Structure 1
């Protein structure tokens, strides 16, 4: 037997030994694994409390594993909180108002569309012209829901929150003054009360701005009526330039109640 033959035979013997050893180890390993699984199943069946605890731990592990993916959808209700509406979903007149206000005041049409839709709905319920509500909003805050004056008037319609705090109780409290829809609804209610007390839109606007017992309101009423007329023009589809505000021909939009007095004017417009 040559040296080469002996070397070849030796290599074959080593390879066979390695293969046999690997087979034995693998075989025994699978056998041990099978026994471990069997004992685990028997244990879980015999002890339900261990099975329950194991399920809880497994679920926690799976949730931790999927946490990065789930974080993308942690706030699916955010879109529901947003004060925004697609202007193309509004009626034609409301959409026209939303786009016109958006262009004039540099505010996105989507939040303005939500406010326009709410103004029309609130105006319908309160029997106040929605374009008047929007005109007051435009002059008071320029559609800034976080506006605040030096005397404490707050929000879109610059309602005196301290004076009308009870009107916000149904919306969760005073902080609702900075919620656009809540402020709009409360402001529309205050505006309606002012018009009813004064007996006219012009007088109601003077009460609203706190100038009911003054000779001049600093041009506030004229500004609101001018914007009111422009918005009415937008709604009717007429050229805005052809509309000029004329307070003498604007009739009240709500039935007047008691005439204004110094006491009720102060209650409506002055901080406590």
Structure 2
């Protein structure tokens, strides 16, 4: 397992219940026999139900907070907001460990703005000028890693009306970092992962807890809010251009 610290441009860093009706003129005994001949309604499989909630959340606006372990006793804290119309804002702090760092980032389409805590301004980077596999790029179709988490779900069991437990593929083929959800920064080699996810009555995902076991056991919690509500993500003021060498 290794971590890739965030780069700061300016400083280089229902149950489904089917109702049954009977015709008023039908004898009760015959109605019971007819009902018993039909297959009883069943709940949506737990995995399908959770995946639907994950996809619904991913396709909408939401806010998130992250509290996560990192390697070498590192702690990761983050908060931000997502608008699927290619808008994303996040603030990340990594404390302890070997590579403490902080990041404030706003992404609007192809424009990345990273805050410089020393100069107090923001550095602008044009994502269209970056190479395809450049680590500075942000996948605006999946900025928090939630879509990758969804595709990495292996199995799901219900643990309550709105709680699910399951197994997760910690190293999905061809995927970039996706853990912790909201601040994807861990590159994982081997290991196993389990998760608990909760939803609300409206079918939104409200939290995801992951326990990753590799060389260390890392626990990660992401909570979600403001589902489907407008989020304010705008271009910052006091912006300067990033140096050309970021595009080399």
User: TM-score, normalization: structure 2?
Assistant: 0.23
Higher relative contact order (CA 8 A, sep 6+): 2
Q: Which has the higher helix share?
A: 1
Greater strand share, structure number? 2
Larger Rg: 1
